Amino acid sequence: MCKPCVMRLQKEYHRLKREPVENIVAEPRPSNILEWHFVISGPTSTPYEGGQYHGVLKFPSDYPYKPPSIMMLTPNGRFETNKRLCLSMSDFHPETWVPAWSVASILNGVLSFMLESTPTVGSIERSSAERRKLAKRSRAFNRKTSIFVELFPELAQPDDDEEEAETEAEMNANAEAEQWRPTLSTVVAASLCIAAAAIAIAQYGSG
């Protein structure tokens, strides 16, 4: 890992902390500064409103002279998950990369492209209704990802509505299970009936 690359990424991290990007947070993996995880909060008045979209940037050791790869990890209806995206600021297009671009400009570019409908490698087409459904499910999806919980603990906490929905779902599941769970007396009664029927059949056969 080259020293200029590390110094550049450290500098950009401190700058992001001083000057946050609207609707986006980012954190490098503690064990590897070349791997940055980010979360896009769906802007209002878009199909992504209320959603949280986890993605990852993987920088080459000669950054900033070469661009990072970009992947989305949370289902979103705009990009495929766990697949490198073909964007002008990604490793698909080193010929268009400008070393002066920063992590902040990369993340702003991802968000801008997310809000467009231009097709590219790694993009998908889904209806606005489907994207809204995915937005509602995104937080619960992210909480199942250990690196998300580790790097973004404040975002991994369910809000009041989510807690209420999860509690209600759990109560409904328990009630349904209880409805079909036989009591001990029911089991004993059924066993006695079966035994009595078996005795009657045996007596009838011997007679």
d(CA 102, CA 10): 12
86 is catalytic: yes
> Residue 187: which residues within 8 A CB-CB, separation 6 or more?
none
> Residue 21: which residues within 8 A CB-CB, separation 6 or more?
104, 107, 108
| Active-site residue (options: 2, 5, 86, 193) | 86
For the record, the structure tokens of 43 come out as 């802007």
Other CB atoms within a 10 A radius of the CB of residue 41 amount to: 18
Question: Residue 36 is which amino acid?
Answer: W
Partners of 79 in the β-ladder: 123
Active centre residues (catalytic): 86
